[in-house]
Amino acid sequence: MHAPAPGRPGAAPAALSPALLFLLVFVEGFVSLGAEILALRRLVPHVGSAITVTAPTIAFFLLALALGYQAGGRVTGDYLARVRRNFLLAAALIALGLAGPVVELAFAHLQPAPVAWAVVVCGVLCPVAWLLGQTVPILTNLLRHERVGARSGAALYWSTLGSFLGALTLSMGVMQWLGVGAAVLVCTGLLLAAVPALGRVAGARLPSATAALGIAGVALAVNLVLPQQIETAYATYRVEAVEIPGYVAPEVFRINNSPASILDAGEPPRYARYIRRLRGLLLDELGFRGRSVLVLGAGGFTLSHREPLNHYVYVDIDPAVKEIAERDFLREPVRGEFIAADARAHLRETAARHDAVVVDVYSALTSIPAHLVTREFWRATRDVLKPGGVLAANLILDRGLASPYARNLLASIHAEYGACAVEVLFRDRPQGNVLVICTAPSAARPEPARPYTDERNRADLDVLRGG
C-alpha cells in the first residue's frame, strides 16, 4: 500500500523519519511543561506561590492542553505545515509573553493583580498549551505502527518523557545555574530548531526559516538585551535607591518585587523599622550577648549587619541570596552562618538549639508559604528553642488584626506558645508589619487559661500565685 502524496488529506511525507517524528513529540512535551513551569515562576513575584494561585494556573493549562488535543485530532491534512506553524507561534508566545520585562510590564499596568494574572495565563500560557497540545494527535497520523494503540502509545511515551525531562532540567538545572531568562531561551530555541526541518519536508524553506530567525532575534532582545532583574529559580532580586525621610541615601533590597530590607549610608546605618525593633529587642531589652539566633528567611541579612555580639544562623531556600546580598546590597560579607534549605525542613532536621528564632519568610509582599503558617510549623520553631527562648515573627497583617487570615494565623501561634505580645508597627496603612513576640513555654505545659467572671473571680488568688 502506497502512502498518498503530500498535500492531500492523510498525506505522509516519506522523507520524514520515525526518529524525527518522535523527536518532535519529545520537544512538544519538553516545552509544554516547561512553559507551565516558567509561567508559575514568573507569577511568584507578583501573586505569590499559594495553592490558590498555582492550582488555577495548572487547571487552565490542562484545559487548554485538552482543547489542543481535541483540535489536533480534527486535523485531516497538511500535518507538518500545521505543526510547523504551531511551533512558530508557540515559540513567539514563550519568547515574548514569558520574558521577565514583559510580565513586569503587565503587572505594573494591569490592575488589580488578578487581571494581569489572567492576561499571562489566558493570553500566553493557555495558547501555548493549545498549540503544542495538537502535536501528538497530528503526528500520530504519520506513525507507521500497524495498530492505533501502538501509534498513540509511542507518541504519548515520547511526549511524557519530554515533559519529565523538561521539568527536571529546567527547574533543577537551567534555572538554578543560568536563570529564568535562560530557560525561556531554551524552550524557544527547541521549538525554533525543529522549524527548518519541518519547513524542508513541507516545501516551505525560506518563509519558515525567516520567521524562526525573526523570533530568535526577538527572544534574545527581550530576554537578554532589555534590562533584567537578577533571577534565580526561587526569586527575583533588585536593589534600588529610594527616598525615605530620616534616611541617608537609602537603598531597598527587593525580593520578588517586595521590599525585603532597607539600608542607608548613615553612621550607624538605619534599617527597616521592623529590623530596628528586632535589634532593639534582642540587644537592648533582652541583653543578648554571645547568644545563638536562628533567622528563617534571610532577606537582606540586616538583622546581623555590623552586629558582632551574637551568633546568627540564617536559613533561606535560595542558595544564591547570600552572594547577591553581599555583592549588590550590603557590599560586605554577611555576619553569621548561612544554610540553604527550606525553613521547615531545617527545623525538622537540625539538632541545634537557639536562644531566639526570628521568622521572616515571604515569597511575595503578603504571601507566606502555606506550610510555614500552620500550628505544626510553630511547634517546630518552639522545639528548636532553648528553655525560655524567644520567638519573634514578622508578619504582614491588617492593622486591626480583624481579617480571618490575621485571626487564624495568630491563633495558630498562640496554640503553641500561649499568650504572645503583638505589636502593630504601622497603623497608618491598611496592611503593615506586625511583630509577634513569644517566650517558649517550659517543658510542663501551662494550665489552660480561664476567663474571670463575676461568679468565679480568682484574680486575687492568681496574683498571689505569681500572676
Instruction: Report yes or no on 157 lying in a domain.
Output: yes
pLDDT of residue 13: 45
Residue pair 347/383 in contact by the 8 Å Cβ criterion: yes
Instruction: Report yes or no on 238 lying in a domain.
Output: no
Share above pLDDT 70 across residues of the chain, in percent, rounded to a whole number: 90
Q: Which residue has the higher pLDDT, 224 or 319?
A: 319
Residues 82, 219 share a domain: yes
Residues 339, 426 share a domain: yes
148 Cβ neighbours under 8 A, 6+ residues apart: none
Residues 409, 323 share a domain: yes
Between CA 280 and CA 451 the distance in angstroms is 33
Residue pair 277/341 in contact by the 8 Å Cβ criterion: no
Q: In which element (H, E) is residue 161 found?
A: helix 148-168
Residues 311, 225 share a domain: no
Residues 89, 168 share a domain: yes
229 Cβ neighbours under 8 A, 6+ residues apart: 100, 104, 236, 237, 238
Minimum mean pLDDT among 206-220, 247-261, 311-325, 438-452: which range?
Answer: 438-452
Between CA 117 and CA 139 the distance in angstroms is 32
128 Cβ neighbours under 8 A, 6+ residues apart: 32, 35, 64, 90, 93, 94, 97
Residues 82, 26 share a domain: yes
Residue span of the structural domain in which 138 resides: 18-231
Instruction: Report yes or no on 458 lying in a domain.
Output: no
Residues 271, 227 share a domain: no
Instruction: Report yes or no on 29 lying in a domain.
Output: yes
Residues 291-350 pLDDT 10s: 999 999 998 999 999 999 999 999 999 999 999 999 999 999 999 999 999 999 999 999
Q: Which residue has the higher pLDDT, 44 or 385?
A: 385
Residues 80, 24 share a domain: yes
Quick one: cell of 440?
A: 517558649
The one-letter amino acid at 116: A
Nearest to 198 by CA among 48, 348, 80: 80
CATH number of the domain encompassing residue 388? 3.40.50.150
Residues 297, 198 share a domain: no
Q: What average pLDDT does the chain have?
A: 88
Instruction: Report yes or no on 1 lying in a domain.
Output: no
Across residues 19-32, what is the average pLDDT?
92
Which CA distances in Å does 155 have to 144, 149, 383, 421? 11, 10, 51, 60
The count of domains in the chain is 2
Minimum mean pLDDT among 87-101, 216-230, 236-250, 401-415: which range?
Answer: 216-230
Q: In which element (H, E) is residue 253 found?
A: strand 251-255
Residues 333, 431 share a domain: yes
Residues 124-176 pLDDT 10s: 999 999 999 999 999 888 876 556 677 778 888 999 999 999 999 999 899 88
Confidence category of residue 202, pLDDT binned at 50, 70, 90: low
Residue pair 52/216 in contact by the 8 Å Cβ criterion: no
pLDDT of residue 459: 78
Q: What is the number of other CB atoms lying within 10 angstroms of the CB of residue 424? A: 14
Instruction: Report yes or no on 261 lying in a domain.
Output: no
Instruction: Report yes or no on 316 lying in a domain.
Output: yes
Residue pair 382/440 in contact by the 8 Å Cβ criterion: yes
Instruction: Report yes or no on 418 lying in a domain.
Output: yes
Between CA 31 and CA 163 the distance in angstroms is 7
CATH number of the domain encompassing residue 223? 1.20.1250
Q: Is 389 helix (H, G, I), strand (E, B) or coil?
A: strand
Residues 325, 411 share a domain: yes
Residues 200, 139 share a domain: yes
Q: Which pTM does this prediction carry? A: 0.80
Count CA within 13 A, CB hemisphere, residue 331.
Answer: 5
